[in-house]
Structure 1
């Protein structure tokens, strides 16, 4: 399939997405067509932050990889994030060095982590929301580095993908809260650093009940852990 036809078909599939599930299905198709193993969408951290996990909006990356990335405090050392802070241009990387003129200097600990999870190349596209919020799409895998034609094509598809995501995000913001009043209380106290036992004491609930509310909230907001739940609840303005 020629590049223009492929781009048109993928853009049409994305444009037709009216739900988060349909959007993810279309993004999986994009990933597959470009022979990539993973795709992710992140909000851009501020330069003084140290954790990437709270900024994960969608990803197919292994949870263990993200956990080890944050445990080793790699955000401040990540050359991809550094480029995204400084520029709106796509950032490409590949391992081992020398395979592409667009290589970046990867810290040894981060290089080892990428190799352990068989992520040998990738590309990230910074994007801006109409409200000024910054995000970036990342695609990772084991294929050969991208040609400039492929970068241009995928970049146009990313613009369509973000337009769809941003529309869905704004629809979520304008809708009623998906969390119950009690679930919101639990999430608010979690955002303030309280443990389940402490929240139970504040709300006169058992820690088991608090954990049940937390689990329900995580499922409702399609998150993987408490950190992502709090970040998403803040982003959706469910809590402040």
Structure 2
């Protein structure tokens, strides 16, 4: 695997010009294709079994419907993927269905077509925050040398992602106290109407706070704004 394409991939990941999640997403697609995988995801390590999958998802090429159904199944925190990565620093490779779904869980309406097997690694930011990075596809088990190559590529790619965290850290100074309150209550599952009652303001004002917070966090919607605020430890 150590060919010109692989060398170019590593070189691209070493560039200090990679500053946005979009650029990391592009590199992640290149990385997956380089090693014969069709899908990938980067997700924050769950702190408990009941934490929502979609809220912890950072980057992913999973079909949106699969993300929704897996989130509704509420089995991420109790999955063998999480349990096995808690116990090792080494990457692992296994059948996706068995890795993502607890054995004793009720059968969820999940389809892993084109994602038969998954390569997964447990990575940490400089400050110790834990993430899971996966590549999924129909390919066979990589040998020892290719496993090392994949792992190195994922570590370098994760460093690029961490740079985007630092680039967005200024959002801490940009968000107002009210915007942070609205995001915090939304993360707790409250609707705009409920947040309006809690804060003693109108639902229209709550909606306005969400719009400005979403813009300041460079997010495309409320869910992504909440996820980025959590990643930046604003809420």
Task: Say if 2:182 and 2:210, in contact at 8 Å, map to a contact too.
Answer: yes
Corresponding position of 2:157: 161
Structure 2 CA distance for partners of 1:95 and 1:232, relative to 1, 3 Å: closer
CA distance in 1, matches of 2:167, 2:45: 21
CA distance in 2, matches of 1:194, 1:43: 22
Q: Which runs of 5+ in 1 are unaligned?
A: 98-102
Q: How does 1:17-56 map to 2 (within 5 A)?
A: 17-56=18-57
Corresponding position of 2:140: 144
Corresponding position of 2:82: 81
| Residues 152-178 of structure 1: per-residue CA shift (max 9 Å, x gap) | 111011111112212221232245545
SS of equivalent to 1:140: strand
Structure 2 CA distance for partners of 1:217 and 1:9, relative to 1, 3 Å: same
Does residue 205 of structure 2 align to residue 204 of structure 1?
A: no
| 2:187 aligned to which of 187, 191, 208 | 191
Structure 2 CA distance for partners of 1:212 and 1:110, relative to 1, 3 Å: farther
Q: CA deviation at 1:145?
A: 3.3
SS of equivalent to 1:173: coil
Structure 2 CA distance for partners of 1:95 and 1:161, relative to 1, 3 Å: closer
Comparing 189-198 with 82-91, greater Cα deviation is found at 189-198
Q: CA deviation at 1:6?
A: 3.4
Does residue 2 of structure 2 align to residue 3 of structure 1?
A: yes
**Cα root mean square deviation, aligned:** 3.1
SS of equivalent to 1:168: helix
Corresponding position of 1:120: 116
Comparing 44-53 with 148-157, greater Cα deviation is found at 44-53
Corresponding position of 1:72: 73
Q: CA deviation at 1:133?
A: 1.2
Runs of 4+ aligned structure 1 residues displaced above 4 Å come to 103-106, 108-112, 174-182, 222-228
SS of equivalent to 2:122: strand
Corresponding position of 1:130: 126
CA distance in 2, matches of 1:129, 1:168: 12
How many residue pairs align between the two structures? 231
Corresponding position of 1:100: none
Structure 2 CA distance for partners of 1:228 and 1:34, relative to 1, 3 Å: same
Q: How does 1:90-129 map to 2 (within 5 A)?
A: 90-94=91-95, 107=103, 113-115=110-112, 117-129=113-125
